[in-house]
Amino acid sequence: AGVGLALAAITLAGTRLGFAILDWPSGRIPAHHPTAHLFDRLLPYHHHPYVFWSGIGWGMIVQAPNVVTVMLLGGGLGLDLPFQAYCIAVPCVALITALPISFNGIGVRELLMAEILYLYYDVPKSHGAALGFLWLSVTVATGLVGGLVYLLGPPLDKQPDSWASSLEEEEP
């Protein structure tokens, strides 16, 4: 719990510092300078923090099922790791596997899980790699189920209108 609170405090402090750094040059850069456009794009997040924090919140909501899935897979492998280990390893590994350095993060996920769990929790590298491979297997299996639902569902031109258009029709 202490590590999680420390990471949350560092994130909050880093965010405040980052916004302060963005504020400083905004009035000092000439409008015709190429970086002025960059600051104009980033400053709305400073002036409307709800947008920034809602993005952070949705990111946590999206990552939570991944953390739980990998935690259950780790339990199935007999790994006795604290919940915090998964809360740290899974989002970090997911972030790196999103980089276009391999096809679907294959190999990167397994290597990172093996290294992180070995370095910080003394888990044998073979167990960490197996956990990464099982995580990939679950991801592929759920993607296949979704693909089958899409392929076997009604054709797109036969589907009813979206809920948004039905709301527009109901308004007087």
For 78-133, write each residue's pLDDT tens digit. 999 999 999 989 999 999 998 889 888 899 999 999 999 999 999 999 999 999 99
Residues 6+ apart with CB under 8 A from 77: 127, 130, 131, 134
Find the distance separating the first CA and the last CA of the chain, reported in whole Å: 53
Identify which has the larger pLDDT, 54 or 30.
54
pLDDT of residue 114: 96
Q: What is the pLDDT of residue 76?
A: 96
Give the pLDDT of residue 7. 73
Whole-angstrom Cα distance, residue 5 to residue 16? 17
Query: The pTM is what?
Result: 0.68
pLDDT in tens, 3-15: 667 777 887 787 7
The predicted pLDDT at position 154 comes to: 79
Site of tokens 């994130």: 11
